[in-house]
Every structure is written in structure tokens, then in C-alpha cells.
């Protein structure tokens, strides 16, 4: 059945349309127009704004379960359902450094889930385990390791249709291994790495166009050695996501990064759990405790984030001196483009999923408006 969303300001991702009309059917956008067709069911947004639903490519848990601990369909459903409460309609559940057995279980859980559910679970983010132990952050030292050809081949063979992003420290890879990943079609993100500015530019020249949580777990900017941070800010082709919670990244640093990166700057939650409903968590050598609104481990280090994408968007609007439209893009079209899926979702456009957020002009209220959109990746 066709429906018309009316009486709304539409943020398409390309333009803003005042008092526009969105025609949807079977979870898909048919058209964006100005006129309301006759004899069609209408959904009146009463003057609110509307944009594509948020996309979170790095989320570790929902309100109950943590994907790396229990890489099951139940956990995936928890992450998806919980995300919908906070404006996020498309997710990549993140599996952090784990055993090869756990990685393969996570891949199979995502694959099985997606066969049963045509929704916004678009794949998996594998963060590790091939990271530099000197920049491992909260990742377990027992799981962080260099890749072997056989393990890497197995992960690619089983996961290349499921893993949409893999975070690696490229200095831990041989040229042969890096080429294996580059040829797999999986989006590679550099993170938890000690590479220099010069080394980073070499890896970027090979086709890597993404880093993981800018400023965190990477070599910092210095006037004599600009590090991975400097290389990312300098290279106009590289996408830079931030965890905008005021702790992982100071708002002043994020503001500077946005000025330099513009449409390559985007938001992630890196949520350990959503909704701050889990206050204490322990899994193998990983622990997280909610302290003053932030998750920290027993060493006092940040252990994932406690924000949602909704929080990140609101923080962006309140602290980065950008328009509501630009803040929304940082959680939608910029994200989709970063993982090479900007032709599938992230905008209000003909043929795209009918999954939206509605909000007021100052982004103080954000609500999900989802029509069980089908996302085919």
C-alpha cells in the first residue's frame, strides 16, 4: 500500500525541501515531490523535519548483550532493536579482537540473521584482532595478534560477503597479506596502529580510505611527526569518524577535524551498550564499568562509549557550530559513502529504504520513523 508522508521539511542528503511529500510503498521510497496524490493514506508529521535514518558502523552491544561475548542472532536482534530507539536504522555490529573460532561464529550469526530478516543489519565490522599491541586500547592482549596467511584466508573466505569493514594495523601485515585484504572487497580501516605520517600516506595510496575512531588508538599529530592523525587530516580522500561524547574526542579537536575533512567527517557511537542500562560488564580480559556517563575498564581507560548515534548528532549540533542538516549528514550520507554504500541508503531518494528519523529544528527531539525497509547489499 502506498503512503504519503506530508507536512514536513525533508532533508534529502542533497537538499532541503520545505513542505515536501515522500511517497513510500513496501518499505521503499518511490518519490520525493511537492504535491499530495489523491486517494492515498497520509502520515502527517505536523511540521517536523525528516531525514534518512542514522547509520552506525561501529556498535558493540545493544541494551542487553555484547556481540563479541555472545555472537548470536539474539544479540544482533538486541543491537538492532535497541538502535531503532535512538534514530539508527542501519548498523554494523562490531566484533572486537577475538579468537578465530569466535570471529567465524560472528560471521555465521550475521549471515544467518540476514537470511531471515530484511532490515537494517547490513553486515559486520571486525575490529581486530590484527592490531598493534602498543595501541590495543581496551582490546585483550591475549587476543591481539599478527595475521597468518591461513587465518586471514579463512576469514576472507567465510566473511567477505558479511564483513563490510575490518580495522587493522597495517604494519602488522606482510605485503602479500595486505594485498589479500585489498582484493577481498572488504573496506579496510586503519586503527590501533603506530604507523608514521609517511607510512600512513603509503597505505592510503594503496587504496585504504578510512581510519577507525580518529584521534583514538593511533599516532598523534606533532609538528615534527604528524602521525596517523596528521596524515588523515591532510589526505582529502580519507574518511574520518569520531566518537563525539566529549571524552574520546574533545569537541575542539572534532571541530578542527570537521573543518579540514568536511564531507569525509562522520559519526560513530562505538557504544559498548546502548541506553546506559548495563553498568558493569566482564568478558574474558575485557571489563567495562559505567562511571560518570562513560565506560571505563579497571585501568581507568575508556572501554567503548556510552552514547547512541542520536547523542552524537545532538552533540555535533550543540558543540561543533554546524547546522542541523550538516549534523544529520554526518550520521547518514557521509557514513554510507565511507563504506562504499552511498548508492544503497543514507539519503531520502527514489529506491532507497523508507527508514527515517523525524526531528525538530534544533535536534532536541529525534524519533525513528521506520517502515521495515529492505536493504539489499
Q: With 80 as the cut, is the pLDDT of residue 376 above it?
A: no
Mean pLDDT throughout 32-61?
96
Q: With 80 as the cut, is the pLDDT of residue 177 above it?
A: yes
Please tell me the predicted confidence (pLDDT) of residue 252: 97
Please tell me the predicted confidence (pLDDT) of residue 1: 86
Q: Mean of the per-residue pLDDT values for the chain?
A: 96
- Retrieve residue 230's grid coordinates: 596528521
Q: With 60 as the cut, is the pLDDT of residue 217 above it?
A: yes
Please tell me the predicted confidence (pLDDT) of residue 284: 86
Please tell me the predicted confidence (pLDDT) of residue 299: 85
R_g over Cα of the chain: 20
Mean pLDDT throughout 266-278?
97
* Confidence category of residue 153, pLDDT binned at 50, 70, 90: very high
Q: Is 175 in the active site?
A: no
* Confidence category of residue 218, pLDDT binned at 50, 70, 90: very high
Please tell me the predicted confidence (pLDDT) of residue 373: 55
pTM of the entire predicted model: 0.97
* Confidence category of residue 300, pLDDT binned at 50, 70, 90: confident
Helices (H), the chain: 73-84, 100-116, 149-159, 175-184, 197-205, 227-234, 251-261, 309-319, 324-329, 333-338
Mean pLDDT throughout 309-326?
97
Residue of 56, 78, 245, 270 marked catalytic: 270
Please tell me the predicted confidence (pLDDT) of residue 374: 52
CB 351 within 8 A of CB 29: yes
* Confidence category of residue 375, pLDDT binned at 50, 70, 90: low
Mean pLDDT throughout 192-210?
98
Q: With 80 as the cut, is the pLDDT of residue 316 above it?
A: yes
**Share of residues in the chain with pLDDT > 70 (%):** 98
* Confidence category of residue 372, pLDDT binned at 50, 70, 90: low
CB 87 within 8 A of CB 368: yes
- Retrieve residue 330's grid coordinates: 554526518
Please tell me the predicted confidence (pLDDT) of residue 32: 98
**Residue 312 contacts by C-beta under 8 Å, 6 or more apart in sequence?**
243, 244, 245, 267, 268, 269, 330, 331
Q: Exposed, middle or buried by CB within 10 Å (0-12, 13-18, 19+), for 108?
A: middle
Amino acid at each position: 500500500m502506498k503512503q504519503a508522508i506530508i507536512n514536513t521539511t525533508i532533508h534529502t542528503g542533497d537538499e532541503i525541501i520545505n513542505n515536501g511529500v515522500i511517497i513510500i510503498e513496501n518499505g521503499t521510497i518511490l518519490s520525493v515531490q511537492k504535491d499530495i496524490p489523491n486517494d492515498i493514506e497520509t502520515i502527517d508529521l505536523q511540521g517536523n523535519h525528516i531525514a534518512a535514518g542514522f547509520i552506525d558502523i561501529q556498535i558493540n552491544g545493544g541494551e542487553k548483550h555484547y556481540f563479541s561475548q555472545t555472537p548470536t542472532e539474539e544479540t544482533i536482534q538486541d543491537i538492532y532493536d535497541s538502535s531503532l530507539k535512538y534514530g539508527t536504522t542501519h548498523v554494523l555490529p562490531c566484533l572486537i579482537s577475538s579468537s578465530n573460532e569466535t570471529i567465524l561464529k560472528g560471521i555465521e550469526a550475521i549471515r544467518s540473521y540476514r537470511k531471515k530478516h530484511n532490515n537494517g543489519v547490513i553486515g559486520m565490522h571486525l575490529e581486530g584482532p590484527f592490531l598493534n599491541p602498543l595501541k590495543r586500547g581496551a582490546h585483550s592482549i591475549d587476543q591481539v595478534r599478527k595475521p597468518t596467511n591461513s587465518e586471514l584466508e579463512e576469514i576472507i573466505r567465510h566473511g567477505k560477503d558479511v564483513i563490510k569493514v575490518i580495522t587493522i594495523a597495517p604494519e602488522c601485515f606482510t605485503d602479500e597479506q595486505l594485498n589479500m585484504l585489498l582484493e577481498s572487497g572488504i573496506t579496510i580501516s586503519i586503527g590501533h596502529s603506530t604507523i608514521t605520517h609517511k607510512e600512513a600516506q603509503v597505505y592510503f595510496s594503496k587504496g585504504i580510505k578510512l581510519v577507525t575512531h580518529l584521534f583514538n588508538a593511533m599516532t598523534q599529530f606533532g609538528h615534527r611527526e604528524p602521525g596517523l592523525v596528521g596524515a588523515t587530516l591532510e589526505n582529502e580522500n580519507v574518511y574520518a569518524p569520531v566518537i563525539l561524547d566529549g571524552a574520546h574526542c574533545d569537541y575542539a579537536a572534532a571541530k578542527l577535524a570537521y573543518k579540514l575533512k568536511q564531507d569525509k567527517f562522520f559519526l560513530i557511537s562505538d557504544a559498548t551498550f546502548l541506553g546506559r542500562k548495563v553498568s558493569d560488564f566482564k568478558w574474558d580480559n575485557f571489563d567495562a564499568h559505567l562511571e560518570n556517563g562513560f565506560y571505563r575498564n579497571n585501568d581507568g581507560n575508556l572501554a567503548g562509549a556510552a552514547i547512541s548515534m542520536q547523542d552524537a548528532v545532538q552533540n555535533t549540533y550543540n558543540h561543533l557550530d554546524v547546522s542541523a542538516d550538516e549534523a544529520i549528514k554526518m550520521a547518514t550520507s557521509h557514513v554510507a559513502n565511507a563504506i562504499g554504500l552511498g548508492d544503497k541508503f543514507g539519503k531520502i531518494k527514489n529506491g532507497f529504504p523508507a527508514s527515517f528519523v523525524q526531528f525538530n529544528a534544533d535536534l532536541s527531539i529525534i524519533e525513528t520513523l521506520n517502515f521495515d525497509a529492505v536493504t539489499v547489499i
